[in-house]
Amino acid sequence: MTFQTVFEKYLPLEMLEKSFKTGSEYAIPYPEVLEAVQIATSKEIAVLGVEAFTVVGDSLLCERFSGYDFKMDQDWISFVETNNNEALREIAEADHHAATRFILTTASETEFEELGSAQFRAQLGIRPDDSKS
């Protein structure tokens, strides 16, 4: 069974079909990634990070990754809005060309609460020795 985040369940099939699939992640093209962030916001899902890639053959070359990290010191809706606005800013600052794709690291409130769970971290590909920020 393939691991799927809550967020991916809400993405339209046509968006997923335009995306570059790498492992269990979807690298979403521009401008569709803007719609993806809007969907996340409407479903109360936080975009915790953004990575920009260029498709090169059957691989992805990382061009840019976000460095924002907001502490959970507010209600969930405010946390989502803060993170997702920053994600949109990061996307706007990235280069946009036909081969650009974006991977969004997302979490619903439940997923965010489970980030400390070893099983959930393993599903996300986080090694046990990786420190949690």
- DSSP 8-state symbol, 131: P
CATH 3.40.50.80 fits 17-123, yes or no: no
Q: Which residue has the tokens 């460095």?
A: 67
- Over residues 70-77, the mean pLDDT reads 88
Of 7 and 117, more confident: 7
- Over residues 69-80, the mean pLDDT reads 90
pLDDT > 90? residue 76: yes
pLDDT score, position 125: 62
Measured in degrees and rounded to the nearest 5, phi and psi for residue 100 equal: -75, 135
50, amino acid identity: V
**Could you tell me where the DSSP H helices lie in 24-117?**
32-42, 76-93, 109-114
- Over residues 61-88, the mean pLDDT reads 92
Evaluated on CA atoms 6, 129, 127, 105, the torsion sign reads: positive
What ranges do the domains of the chain cover?
A: 17-123
